[in-house]
Amino acid sequence: MEHTLQIIFSIVPTVATAVIGWVFHKIKKRDEQKAAAESERTKKILAREKATDEALRALCRDRILQGYHFYKRQDKVSTADLETMTKLYKAYHGLGGNGTITAVYDKICRLPLKEESA
């Protein structure tokens, strides 16, 4: 009987160590899977933000070009429309737009101001 207890007492620490090691392995594996999933979500979010920025930049660019052609035909621009163009221009550059639209915006700014009716 005493011999059996000695065997049990010698096996218990080994089994306990194995179980604890297995539990820590499972926890580590779960944490790695969570980190990988989070990394994938972050990549998707960043890709979506980039696409959104590109779309907004393209829309601002297009609207500024449309505005320029419209105001050029009228040979004048209202103060309110010029303010809108300024906001679009700032947003365009804030979204990473380059200087291509600067020349177009400058042309809009040089147009005569339309007299506002009271």
State both tokens at 33: 């899977």
List pLDDT tens digits, range 8-49: 778 888 888 888 988 889 898 898 888 888 888 899 999 999
Half-sphere exposure (Cβ direction) of 46: Cα atoms closer than 13 Å: 6
Residue pair 57/97 in contact (Cβ under 8 Å)? The answer is yes
Residue 106 pLDDT class (50, 70, 90 cuts): very high
What pLDDT was estimated at residue 117? Answer: 64
What pLDDT was estimated at residue 34? Answer: 87
pTM of the model: 0.68
111 versus 24: which is more confidently predicted?
A: 111
Residue pair 116/78 in contact (Cβ under 8 Å)? The answer is yes
User: What's the average model confidence in pLDDT over 95-105?
Assistant: 91
Residue 88 pLDDT class (50, 70, 90 cuts): very high
Residue 71 pLDDT class (50, 70, 90 cuts): very high
